Amino acid sequence: MSKDQLAQPRQQVRPDEIVRERAKLLPPYKVIVHNDDHNEMNYVIFALMHSVNTLTAQEAEQIMLTAHLLGRAIVTVCPKEVAEYYQERLLSYNLTATIEPD
């Protein structure tokens, strides 16, 4: 680097700008699990935790209860490709799951 390059201040990128740019490139999608009358509550918690490995038992239980009481619950919000992956995992456990833009 030359002395002139060192003397010039670097342009700072603000975190909110990074978030906006990331959202443009990777728009967020909601992964939604729907209530059903076929699976036991403990099985749904198990399936949630094994499908989305970042969920704790308490988070999975809260998601299951929300879906049970309200008909559906947001599991996570993430980029579309990841959301599709989670949806497929949930479907493989015979849960009803959809994705939609956030």
Which CATH number covers residue 67? Answer: 3.30.1390.10
CB 75 within 8 A of CB 97: yes
The mean-pLDDT minimum among 11-15, 36-40, 94-98 falls in 11-15
Percent of the chain residues past pLDDT 90, beyond the cut: 71
Whether residue 18 lies inside any domain: the answer is no
Residue 6 φ then ψ, to 5°: -70, -30
Whether residue 80 lies inside any domain: the answer is yes
Domain boundaries, position 83: 27-101
Residue 71 φ then ψ, to 5°: 95, -20
**Angstrom distance (rounded) from CA 66 to CA 74:** 9
Q: Is the pTM of this model over 0.85?
A: no
Whether residue 74 lies inside any domain: the answer is yes
* Residue spans of alpha helices (H) in 1-102: 3-7, 15-25, 41-51, 57-70, 80-92
pLDDT, tens only, 54-92: 999 999 999 999 999 999 999 999 999 999 999 999 999
